[in-house]
Chains A and B, each alone.
Chain A
Amino acid sequence: MQEVTRDALLNKALELLKNGTVDRVLGYRVGEFSYDVTPAVFENEDALKKDFCWNSFCGANFSKYLISETAKTEKKLLVFLKPCDSYSFNQLLTEHRFDREKVYAVGVPCGGMLSGKDLREKVESVSDVSVNGDKVTVKTLFDGDLEFDFETLLSDRCKNCKSKKHVAYDELLGEDGEVLDSHRFDEVERLEQMTPDERFAFWQGELSRCIRCNACRDVCPACTCEKCVFDNPNSGVQNKAAADSFEEKMFHIIRAFHVAGRCTDCGECSRVCPQHIPLHLLNRKFIKDINSFYGDYQAGAEVGSRAPIVNYTTDDPEPSEAVERGHGNA
């Protein structure tokens, strides 16, 4: 469901370019197919008018692009933020990862995004997709036009959307939503119910598929080190060949620890995984544990907040108490 149209975004971008508020625009460029969209920086009106795109496949989180884009030039950049992007936006500001002065953020309401990757697995030879209200029409080369409910094609992470509310913007298009009462921890709880052996088998099944393409790391807005430990020759783990198919678990576990308390649960890791590994479940387990040990905390909800695990207060529970408090969920 499109809450705002392409034209609304394009007109806003043109207006801001014209009145000098911004010099560049971070948006989506159309690809060969409508589900095939790419984040891109538009430097002028003509480029915008020609290639700017906004549809239900524009799911990528723009926040991380701000680090490299703001470092390149002094020019001011327009960025469109979906509610979930705005959490990453704040988290990156908390970590001083980009210069807020160089960015003009326009909040865009979001009714959930579709996944081109999922669609192509469901339907063969897709030539075009159009969304009308809560119906999606998929044109195919050989099977004619197929119609789906929007809900059925909704990408996994959007089914458990945590918030329709923007936590950061300079300007908002349309109406802002509310923080939702999502069921995002249901799946984690299901894993917690398993015996250790079952859980091991589950993760062995999932993580053994990993091909270490690093897509999850590269897309993750929390993975913004100057040099990742996995690329650092001094870390002792750089370019280490996996001894068996399950050894990449170490990569994912270490990554989950590194983003613990900083992960906003944007779901990009699972979205980009070519092997369909539900990586977000690792991060959600951490989020759930932090919530139960130290009280509810949402990374990125505000700029400058201190995550419980990098904060110290005199009334912090002793480690033994924290374990007890979270025992039901451990």
Chain B
Amino acid sequence: MKRIGVFVCHCGTNIAGTVDVKAVAEAMKHEPGVVFSTDYQYMCSQAGQEMIKAAVKEHRLDGIVVCSCSPRMHEATFRKTAAAAGLNSYMVEIANIREQCSWVHKEMPIGTEKAIILAKAAVAKVSLNAPLTPGESPVTKRALVIGGGIAGIQTALDIADAGFPVDIVETKPTIGGKMAQLDKTFPTLDCAACILTPKMVDVAQNEKIRIFSYSEVTDVKGFVGNFDVTIKRKARYVNETLCTGCGACTEKCPMKKVPNEFNLGMDNRHAVYIPFAQAVPKVATIDPNHCLMLKSGKCGLCSKVCGAGAIDYKAKDEFLEERYGAIVVATGFNPISMEKFDEFAYAQSKDVITSLELERLMNAAGPTGGTLLRPSDHQHPHTIVFVQCVGSRCEACAEKGKEYCSKICCMYTAKHAMLIRDKYPDTDVYVFYIDVRTPGKNFDEFYRRAVEEYGVHYIKGMVGKVTPENGVLKVQGSDLIDNRQLHIDADLVVLAAAIEPDKSARPLATMLTASMDTNDFFTEAHPKLRPVESPTAGVFLSGTCQGPKDIPETVSQAGAAASKVIGLLCKDKLLGNPCVAHSDEMMCNGCSTCEKVCPYGAITYEDKEFRMPDRTTKVRRVAKVNEAVCQGCGACTVACMSGAMDLKGFMNKQIMAEVDAICK
């Protein structure tokens, strides 16, 4: 029989307000195996922990039950306390009488009754606990950053700065991401390219950083410290090491009418192309969907003009396998599709554009060379209407929009309005808004400047309809402050489209077994205290893959993610989780069911000789768990028909004992 101590925490009034903690401690004294039971105001405090240590010594305890908050909060704390008192740290059980009891009940008698039941279950479980020792695994001192936008770039630079090698996998032919497409950045109005491209060059020149552009992550196996990642290097039909980026091929390419995705389809590029002048790596890529040579075998001009001999029409996708200690997700965002927003006539008129398209129209390297011309007739627009929150904060239109606030639109719209008024003072600029949200450093000042100094007309209300008519966009909107309908004849309408996570994020999350919210943003391990870590160990989050963010925030998060990665890579060994699956070979019949349900690939099989009672030997196929790979999810234990598979620390009989204690 074990000697169990029960420690009931008041958590101030958090628990004691709804649970009679003294009654719980008293009730536990009569449970089998319990030799000591007490309560205290803050069990997690220094004094509380000292009390536990003293009780372990005085009463020779070999099992501890702490009735307190969620084990997610303080299980680790009390495990350390137990270890300090000379106990195995896995001889501790937590009865969650806060989140699952005091916080959800109002009546003291009900709360107390439930707390006693939960405590009994924990006592029943701890009676069956066995000491566990975590295994060790080495750390591969290399990081992978998935996504080469400003988030990925900053994270990679910071990790490399600490001396660790980093690989960036970017699906586009160049790194740079969305920031490379922007014109100016708020609130300082410095040019995006001027601050981003030096960083891109830094990445290219950093010896510790390898860039896998035009590549994708296709498979991830393994676990923190040892992720085995398969990277698909899509065939770009141009040898990256030979190509000098001279651009001779793109000039000669006869396929000139390919929509240019860098300018959001507002002009054309060639079938062989370099996305933009400052691209990194600065090498050409052949678009297999449009290249004549690849489609029909007739052309080959680029190959003829290439002095470096870099063109290779026979190139194939290559698969690279690399091992990493840590993975940073920086997959970024895209504006949502405006196709479904019929009321704004985005699909009907070329002069209804998104804000990102406006960035390109105002950018010196854009399709108009930086002169603001409307797309339909290349005339200067004189009346421009901005519509904010298109698809954001949109509970009613969940099928086409998003419920959340996209966060960056208020600021970039103020920026656009201000820049246009500054450059073209003869232009009337209207901004329709629901709220203006500017809670950043120097943000509100920035917005007020747009209104007060630049005379932008801010109108609280939403645009109901945009109708293209004789080259004019008839905008009908409501002014909620003056309570009247407005009719504006606009030359250009700019929609502040909501942003959503990149489509590659969902399959990536599945590969990484990292969790996501319903909007496909990656979930952080703790929204306040662990904002750059995924709940999956060794996976970190950088930038907008975790939620809408502007550039300053993205860069600070990128640095934070890098520091977490550096912290991990500095370690030589990682302690594993000893609560892993274990197969009883005498019971296992080798049926492979556990292997099929294991999400981590932790189970293999081996043919093993067994000595039979009649002194013969029998060879049987039995399951073997790789304890370093097992995450202790327990899927195998429920799938195993024979009951051979069990989870250390959560053995079937422990769970049953808890259920029995609760049902008694």
Contact = CB atoms under 8 A, between A and B. Distances in A.
B621 A232 contact: no
B593 interface: yes
A82 to B, nearest CB: 24
Interface string A185-222: 00000000000000000000000000000000000000
B517 to A, nearest CB: 15
Contact of A236 (B639, B644, B653): B653
Contacts of A314: 507, 510
B478 interface: no
Nearest to B584: A234
Contacts of A146: none
Given A234-B653, A310-B597, A226 B510 contact: no
B586 A96 contact: no
B378 interface: no
B591 A96 contact: yes
Interface in B586-600: 586-593, 596-597, 599
A95 B587 contact: no
B611 to A, nearest CB: 15
Given A95-B591, A97-B591, A235-B643, A226 B596 contact: no
Given A234-B643, A258-B641, A310-B596, A225 B587 contact: yes
B301 interface: no
A240 interface: no
Contact of A227 (B586, B597, B621, B653): B586
Interface in B621-664: 621, 639, 641-644, 653, 656
A235 B596 CA distance: 23
A2 interface: no
A284 to B, nearest CB: 19
B328 to A, nearest CB: 23
A225 B589 contact: yes
Interface string A83-105: 00000000000111100000000
A314 B591 CA distance: 24
Nearest to B598: A312
Nearest to A258: B641
B528 interface: no
B618 interface: yes
Contacts of B593: 95, 310
Nearest to B594: A310
Contacts of A312: 597, 599
A224 interface: yes
B592 A96 contact: yes
A224 B589 contact: yes
Given A71-B618, A96-B621, A236-B653, A225 B590 contact: no
A237 to B, nearest CB: 10
A252 interface: no
A311 interface: yes
Contacts of B644: 226
A8 interface: no
Contacts of A258: 641
Contact of B588 (A94, A226, A228): A226
Nearest to B657: A236
Contacts of A227: 586-587, 642
Interface residues of A, number: 21
Contacts of A232: 587, 643
A226 to B, nearest CB: 5
A306 B643 contact: no
With most chain B CB atoms within 10 A of its CB, the pick from A97, A226, A310 is A226
A33 B590 CA distance: 40
Contacts of B641: 225, 229, 258
Contacts of A94: 592
A226 B644 CA distance: 9
Interface in A56-112: 71, 94-97
Contacts of B653: 234, 236
A266 B91 CA distance: 48
Nearest to A224: B589
Interface string A284-327: 00000000000000000000001000111010000000000000
Nearest to A95: B591
Contacts of B596: 306, 310-311
Contacts of A229: 641-643
Contacts of B592: 94-96
Given A311-B596, A314-B507, A236 B656 contact: yes
A298 B643 CA distance: 25
A226 B587 contact: yes
A71 to B, nearest CB: 7
A227 B585 CA distance: 11
B639 A96 contact: no
Nearest to A310: B596
B586 A226 contact: yes
Nearest to B593: A310
A156 B510 CA distance: 46
A226 B642 contact: yes
B383 to A, nearest CB: 48
Nearest to B507: A314
A71 B593 CA distance: 21
Contacts of B605: 96
Nearest to A304: B592
Interface in B242-291: none
B355 to A, nearest CB: 33
Nearest to B589: A226
Contacts of B510: 314
A228 B589 CA distance: 10
B643 A96 contact: no
Contacts of A306: 596
Nearest to B641: A258
Interface in B529-546: none
A239 to B, nearest CB: 15
With most chain A CB atoms within 10 A of its CB, the pick from B507, B587, B591, B618 is B591
A40 to B, nearest CB: 23
A28 B307 CA distance: 80
A225 B656 CA distance: 22
A311 B593 CA distance: 9
Nearest to A314: B510
A165 to B, nearest CB: 25
Contacts of A236: 653, 656
A312 B639 CA distance: 13
With most chain A CB atoms within 10 A of its CB, the pick from B596, B605, B621 is B596
Contacts of B656: 236
With most chain A CB atoms within 10 A of its CB, the pick from B510, B639, B641 is B641
A232 to B, nearest CB: 6
Contacts of B618: 71
A262 to B, nearest CB: 8
Contacts of A225: 587, 589, 641-642
A236 to B, nearest CB: 6
Given A96-B591, A96-B621, A227-B587, A310 B643 contact: no
Nearest to B506: A314
B643 A97 contact: no
B597 A97 contact: no
Contacts of A235: 643
A95 B510 CA distance: 27
B510 to A, nearest CB: 5
6 smallest CB-CB distances across A and B, nearest first, come from A95-B591, A225-B642, A258-B641, A310-B596, A226-B589, A229-B643
Interface of B: 507, 510, 586-593, 596-597, 599, 605, 618, 620-621, 639, 641-644, 653, 656
Given A97-B589, A226-B620, A232-B643, 12 more contacts: A71-B618, A94-B592, A95-B589, A96-B591, A97-B590, A229-B643, A234-B643, A306-B596, A310-B593, A310-B596, A312-B597, A312-B599
Interface of A: 71, 94-97, 224-229, 232, 234-236, 258, 306, 310-312, 314
17 contacts: A95-B590, A96-B590, A96-B621, A97-B591, A224-B591, A225-B587, A226-B588, A226-B620, A226-B644, A227-B586, A227-B642, A228-B642, A229-B642, A234-B653, A235-B643, A236-B653, A312-B597
